Amino acid sequence: MTTAAPEALSPEAVTIGVVSISDRASTGVYEDKGIPALQDWLGRALRNPITWVTRLIPDDQATISATLCELVDTAGCHLVLTTGGTGPALRDVTPEATLAVADKVMPGFGEQMRAISLNFVPTAILSRQVAVIRGQALIINLPGQPKSIAETLEGLPRATPPVPGIFAAVPYCIDLIGGPYLETHDEVCKAFRPKSAIRKGA
């Protein structure tokens, strides 16, 4: 008599907020490309069923902060990704708006994003992306260009030596703050967890 192997647990559902911050895109001057780029990459990277909460808003600090609070506190997002508004221009206030709603700051995310982008352009040092924790949610500011979004999330796996992307650390970070167990497709992005944190059957 053979014993059937235990079935793998179905991935937990996750609610993800995606915010594109642009004066011109939010008023219809041009088509927003940030939200589709984020949804495309995350949809390929994650095995979890995703509920999307999207927002397209102008470069206004109070609006950005209020939107982030709404996505975490009301919509129940466990992960919020923003794109746009992280440069040195006068209207670029996304980092300030994000820090204003933070319980904890996670500087390593911004440091790694700039390290990745410096492989392509010296002006990466002008980027001011930050990541913070609010409650049981992780909020990360990403670059504005779709190509840069994918590069910073995924890293440069074929570089010599390979450069890790930031998303490899996201699932374990969300574990630590009490969020759902995120599972990734390894061919897109292999999540890193200590052996003790890997869930059996996942």
pTM, to two decimals:
0.93
User: How, if at all, do strands 137-142 and 79-83 pair?
Assistant: parallel
- Return the pLDDT at 29: 87
pLDDT tens, residue order, the chain (202 aa): 555 444 567 899 999 999 999 998 888 888 999 999 999 999 999 999 999 999 999 999 999 999 999 999 999 999 999 999 999 999 999 999 999 999 999 999 999 999 999 999 999 999 999 999 999 999 999 998 999 999 999 998 888 888 899 999 999 999 999 999 999 999 999 999 999 999 876 6
118 burial (CB, 10 Å; 0-12 / 13-18 / 19+) is middle
- Return the pLDDT at 161: 85
107 Rama sector, left if φ>0, alpha if ψ -120 to 50, beta otherwise: alpha
- Count the helices and strands in the chain (H runs, E runs): 7, 8
**In the chain, where are the structural domains located?**
14-197
**For residue 144, what are the CA distances in angstroms to 38, 48, 152, 195?**
10, 25, 11, 35
Q: How many residues does the chain have?
A: 202
CATH number for domain 14-197, candidates 1.10.10.10, 3.40.50.970, 3.40.980.10, 3.60.70.12: 3.40.980.10
- Return the pLDDT at 94: 98
